[in-house]
Amino acid sequence: MNTPLAERIRPKSLEDYISQQHLVGPEGALTSQIRSGVLSSMILWGPPGTGKTTLASIIANQSGRPFYQLSAVDSGVAAVRQVIEQAKKSDTLFSAKNPILFIDEIHRFSKSQQDSLLGAVEKGWVTLIGATTENPSFEVIPALLSRCQVYILNPFSKNDLEQLLKRAVAEDVVLAQKKIKLKETEAMLRLSGGDARKLLNILELIVLSEEKKLVTITNDLVLQKVQKNTVLYDKTGEQHYDIVSAFIKSIRGSDPNAAVYWLARMIEGGEDVKFIARRLVILASEDIGNANPTALVLANNTFQAVTTIGYPESRIILSQCTIYLATSPKSNASYIAINEAQKKVQETGDLSVPLSIRNAPTKLMKELGYGKEYAYAHNYEGNFTPHEFLPEEIKASTFYVPGNNPKENAIKNYLKTLWGAKYDY
């Protein structure tokens, strides 16, 4: 079997690595680690085809370390332990250059499989490099995640992908058997969805399917050669992101018919049930919030339920939750409030906590005024008395503005009753 083009031209050094300058450029977060060979365990998180495996290989090559590679798709606990035992026997085990264990698609490892890595990472038997397309906060167990740095790989830009095409045409020995002219690249870029591996597969398919020695790549030729209807839903590519975007926007736009349609597209495409449920939990807070607080409760229960049940029955639960969220009143007031509050923190830095609301567990702290003049709300009628809780410098700031819906209008009236003009929206 011929080696795929993406493998044939895989970069071997940082100098040949395209994109991710925030990680491997002159001031990149990983550059000094790679050049010095002093590495911490890490998780590389990014969309498919953005160079995670390639970067792991380059790190191993340039740091001169033994390199062990596993795929979470077909490796179990026994395979992990076998590799760790091999790593422990390495001559470099007790040096600064311990072996690297690269695990592709680490998000597919179960909790027990991830647990089996903890000891080796903690004791320095291996330096772990995990690659994932899913948010590691959800898919990597906290104990392992706390021992790793997370680095985000960005989708390739148009310039990156065009540079990759030119390199393939100029350097690959198989493609060199023909004369290739890249007249138009837009169709290839669009069909690849930003996935470099898919882009190179498309290029190779087109070139090798042409009998002529001169191959002029045009958009028409690409569309003619590539079967556009072969993939209705690619859960690791562009369709994955486009369809979930349509799903979320349909719910946000209160259209249950459209929302259920896009849900069905994801289900029929084999999308991870937990991925869909997580998006519903996020949406319940970001787009509905206190307009209907029950939405978050239902979404969270949906996540728990489908995690336990799985397909095919979980489709019914997802449908119920989707329709409930689509038909709920909407408010992004909580989302805006935390954005504004974080922005204020970034602008003003670490402002002092007012003395009256500081904790005073010691006599000295009490003598310094900690907790002095604090008004305990439950000592007052209605369990409320006005008090200033913000730092002096920003005491007039407003972050939360209730949305215009029945529940948040009630919140608005309640706050105005308590605070008067301070919360007069």
pLDDT in tens, 299-338: 999 999 999 888 889 999 999 999 999 999 999 999 999 9
Residues 265 and 268: their CA atoms lie apart, in Å, by 5
Highest mean pLDDT pick, 27-31, 299-303, 344-348, 379-383 = 299-303
pLDDT higher than 80, residue 91: no
Give me the helices (H) in 214-313, please.
Answer: 219-225, 238-252, 256-268, 273-283, 294-309
pLDDT higher than 70, residue 230: no
Give me the amino acid identity at 354.
P
- Whose CA is closest to 269, among 252, 293, 246, 296? 246
The H or E element containing residue 59 is: helix 52-63
SS3 category, 194 = coil
pLDDT higher than 60, residue 1: no
pLDDT higher than 70, residue 234: no
Residues linked to residue 217 through DSSP beta bridges, in sequence order: 182
What distance, in Å, lies between the first and last C-alpha atoms of the chain?
A: 69
- Whose CA is closest to 107, among 138, 146, 142? 138
Q: Which CATH architecture does the domain made up of 238-326 adopt?
A: Up-down Bundle (1.20)
Tokens found for residue 180: 């290739």
pLDDT at 375: 86
SS3 category, 132 = strand
Residues 309 and 277: their CA atoms lie apart, in Å, by 12
Residues 424 and 420: their CA atoms lie apart, in Å, by 6
pLDDT higher than 80, residue 271: yes
Tokens found for residue 69: 């590679």
The label of the residue with tokens 């007052």 reads 380
CB 259 within 8 A of CB 243: no
Q: Where in the chain is the domain with CATH 1.20.272.10?
A: 238-326
- Torsion, Cα of 192, 15, 105, 279 (10° steps): -60
Residues 132 and 150: their CA atoms lie apart, in Å, by 10
Using 50, 70 and 90 to split pLDDT, how confident is the model at 228?
very low
pLDDT at 31: 87
User: Which is the CATH superfamily of the domain at 20-152?
Assistant: P-loop containing nucleotide triphosphate hydrolases (3.40.50.300)
Using 50, 70 and 90 to split pLDDT, how confident is the model at 264?
very high
Residues 263 and 280: their CA atoms lie apart, in Å, by 11
The average pLDDT across 123-147 equals 90
Percent pLDDT > 90 in the chain is 42
Strands of the sheet containing 149-152, edge to edge, are 67-71, 100-104, 127-132, 42-45, 149-152
Give me the amino acid identity at 333.
A
Residues 324 and 72: their CA atoms lie apart, in Å, by 36
Percent pLDDT > 70 in the chain is 94
Q: What is the pLDDT of residues 184-199, one digit of tens each?
A: 999 898 888 778 888 9
User: What CATH number does domain 158-225 carry, 1.10.8, 3.30.70, 2.50.20, 2.60.40?
Assistant: 1.10.8
CB 153 within 8 A of CB 176: no
More confident residue, 237 or 384: 384
Q: Where in the chain is the domain with CATH 3.40.50.300?
A: 20-152
SS3 category, 386 = coil
- Whose CA is closest to 226, among 248, 250, 199? 199
pLDDT higher than 80, residue 76: no
pLDDT higher than 70, residue 52: yes
- Whose CA is closest to 164, among 3, 7, 9, 2? 9
- The torsion angles phi and psi of 334, rounded to 5 degrees, stand at -70, -40
pLDDT higher than 90, residue 254: yes
The label of the residue with tokens 């600064």 reads 96
The average pLDDT across 57-64 equals 86
Helices 314-326 and 294-309: crossing angle in degrees, nearest 10, is 170
Q: Give the least confident one: 220-229, 336-345, 362-371.
A: 220-229
pLDDT higher than 70, residue 63: yes
Buried b (16+ CB within 10 A) or exposed e, 8-20: bbbbeebeebbbb
- Whose CA is closest to 108, among 275, 321, 233, 348? 275
Residues 317 and 301: their CA atoms lie apart, in Å, by 10
CB 63 within 8 A of CB 149: no
Residues 196 and 187: their CA atoms lie apart, in Å, by 14
Calculate the average pLDDT of the chain: 87
pLDDT at 131: 94
CB-based contacts of 395, cutoff 8 Å, min separation 6: 388
pLDDT at 229: 37
- Whose CA is closest to 39, among 89, 86, 102, 119? 102
Q: Residue 69, CB half-sphere, CA atoms under 13 Å: how many?
A: 12
Q: Where in the chain is the domain with CATH 1.10.8?
A: 158-225
